A = this chain, B = another copy of it.
Amino acid sequence: MRFLHTADWHIGKKLHGYDLLEDQAHIIKQILTIAKTEKVDAIVIAGDLYDRSIPSEEGVRLLNQTIAEINLTAGIPLLAISGNHDSATRLATGAPWFAQSNFHLHTRLDQAFEPIVMGNTAFFLLPYFEPVDARIHFEDSSIRSIHDAMPIVIEKIKKQFDPKYKQVLVSHFFVSGSSRTDSETKVEVGGLDGINGVLLEDFTYVALGHLHNKNALNLPNARYSGSPLKYSLSEKEQKKGVWLVETESQLNLKFIELEPLREMQELQGTFEYFLTPDTYQQLNRENYFSFLLEDRSIIPNMMNQLRKVYPKVLQVGRLNGRENSQQSAIKKLKEKTPIELTEEFFTSIVQVAPTERQKKWIEQTIHQLVKNGGESDAS
């Protein structure tokens, strides 16, 4: 069995207000090209196909076209799960028909226990789920968190192991021991308290989604694919791509890089320098830019002037910015997670820190808000 492992497409996501649909269409086309070139037997998508539970019509159109092209036109089998950003119910639309053409899309916990066998490999497609789903499935009211649920879920999956096959798990969670980079400090917003890596040992391979950095985890048999595009400035140094996975005699992993339509660049210099034709004529002005200005003076209409030359400016910072106390307070605030902010607010009002139970409520509520709500940097 030879397949591509990708995840976290986040179709419909906006980056600092810029619509990424064109970039996303471009990058998925590339994934399809790689799949054809490498003659893979399947493509695995480990969750977060959409960026939100109610995606825009344009997002729906793009994903519908894309998966039809992969599965129906190119005839490539697809194995996919819903992630924490997807609405499992909405994403499931069409799934019973998809299965007829080897497009297996699992959105419910109970589906994880029916392996999809392809060639020499059994795929267990474990979608993102909430603790309540596990409580109901196992009729066990003591399950209060993913951490509680996961050992029981994995144990039940292992009971389906048939030694004839290699065993691949596809899932969308935080695995303890994964390195969270800048962009993922807010991952806890997802309320994903994680899988213990030890639970994954008996799988031939674990194809993970959720974290956007392919290097977030380094177990011999488990990887995050990372997102196919840079979805935050903090991801600007990351290599984006897909894993080519082989489960023949032994596990073979190869990372294939993707070429985005527009790169993300952080540049340092003076305002004047950036507006000089000699500078910008050597740059691909269609890229996404973050500028670090060396100027100290006030520049009127700065953003508009920059955007006339560089249409997609994500951010402008000051190298020598004499931050006043207000600015530095704002900066500190921005570094905090929504959960930290809520807890601090609670403490300042009630004059007592929240209890563990109250913390859990805060976490669950914010998690739910992020899931239903607007843009956020949570993975």
How far in angstroms is the closest Cβ of chain B from A305?
A: 36
From B54, B64, B90, B97, contact of A72 by CB (8 A): B97
Contact flags (1/0) for A133-168 with B, using CB distance below 8 Å?
000000000000000000000000000000000000
Task: Indicate if the CB atoms of A89 and B72 lie closer than 8 Å.
Answer: no
Cβ contact of A93, chosen from B93, B101, B103, cutoff 8 A:
B93
A71 to B68, CA, bound (A): 20
Contact with B along A22-65 (1 / 0, CB 8 A): 00000000000000000000000000000000100100110010
Complex alpha-carbon distance, A68 and B98, angstroms: 12
Q: Are A57 and B89 in contact (CB under 8 A)?
A: yes
Q: Which residues of B contact A92 (CB under 8 A)?
A: 64
Chain B residues within 8 Å of A54, by CB: 54
* C-alpha spacing A60/B96, complex, angstroms: 14
The smallest C-beta distance from A105 to any residue of chain B, in angstroms, reads: 10
A97 contact from B87, B89, B90, B98, Cβ within 8 A: B98
Which of A54, A68, A87, A90 is the most central at the interface, judged by chain B CB atoms within 10 Å of its CB? A90
Q: Mark A81-117, 1 if CB is under 8 A from B, else 0.
A: 0000001011011111110110100000000000000
Residue from A68, A89, A95, A103 having most chain B Cβ neighbours under 10 A: A89
Size of the A side of the interface (Cβ < 8 Å), in residues, is: 20
Residues of B within 8 A of A93 (CB): 60, 64, 93-94
Residues of B within 8 A of A90 (CB): 57, 60
In the bound complex, CA of A72 to CA of B99 (Å): 12
Task: Say whether B60 contacts A72, CB under 8 Å.
Answer: no
* Shortest Cβ distance from residue A61 to the other chain B in the assembled complex, whole angstroms: 5
Binary contact track A67-80/B, C-beta < 8 Å → 1, others 0: 01000100000000
Residue of B nearest to A98 (CB): B97
Q: Which 9 A-B pairs have the closest CB atoms?
A: A94-B94, A97-B97, A57-B89, A93-B93, A68-B96, A61-B89, A97-B98, A60-B89, A60-B90
Query: What residues make up the interface of A, taking CB atoms closer than 8 Å to B?
Result: 54, 57, 60-61, 64, 68, 72, 87, 89-90, 92-98, 100-101, 103
Supply 19 A–B pairs (Cβ within 8 Å), ascending by A.
A54-B54, A57-B89, A57-B90, A60-B89, A60-B90, A60-B93, A61-B89, A64-B89, A64-B92, A64-B94, A68-B96, A68-B97, A72-B97, A93-B94, A94-B97, A94-B98, A97-B100, A97-B103, A100-B100
